[in-house]
C-alpha cells in the first residue's frame, strides 16, 4: 500500500462493500479478479478479508447444530414423509 493509498479510497470502499458477496462466490469472474487484485495490493483490506473469512469458518464449526431425531420424525410425520435414516 502506498502513502497516498488509504482505506478511504474508492477501491477499498468498493471492495469492502462487496466482501460478503465475494466470500459467498456470487460475483462475476471479472469482478472477483478486480477485488482479488485489490486485495493483493492493499494490506488493510486483505487483513479485513482474512478476518471475515476466518470468522465464517469459526462460526460454521461452532454453530452446526444437529436437529434432534424426535423433531425430525415429528416434522416428517406432519408432512407425510418417511424420515431419512
Model pLDDT, residue 52: 95
> Taking residues 52-77, what's their average pLDDT?
87
Domain locations in the chain as residue ranges:
10-79
Model pLDDT, residue 28: 95
Locate all alpha helices (DSSP H) within the chain, ordered by sequence. 10-17, 19-23, 29-41, 43-62, 69-79
Pick among 2.40.360, 1.10.10, 1.10.3470, 3.30.60: CATH of 10-79: 1.10.10
Are 15 and 8 in contact by the 8 Å Cβ rule? The answer is no
Q: Which tens digits make up the pLDDT trace of 16-60?
A: 999 999 999 999 999 999 999 999 999 999 999 999 999 999 988
d(CA 8, CA 20): 19
The answer to whether residue 6 scores a pLDDT higher than 90 is no
Amino acid at each position: 500500500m502506498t502513502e497516498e493509498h488509504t482505506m478511504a479510497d474508492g477501491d477499498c470502499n468498493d471492495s469492502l462493500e462487496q466482501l460478503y458477496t465475494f466470500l459467498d462466490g456470487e460475483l462475476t469472474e471479472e469482478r472477483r479478479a478486480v477485488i482479488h487484485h485489490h486485495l493483493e495490493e492493499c494490506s488493510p483490506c486483505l487483513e479485513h478479508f482474512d478476518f471475515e473469512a476466518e470468522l465464517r469458518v469459526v462460526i460454521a464449526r461452532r454453530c452446526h447444530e444437529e436437529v434432534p431425531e424426535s423433531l425430525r420424525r415429528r416434522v416428517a410425520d406432519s408432512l407425510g414423509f418417511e424420515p431419512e435414516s
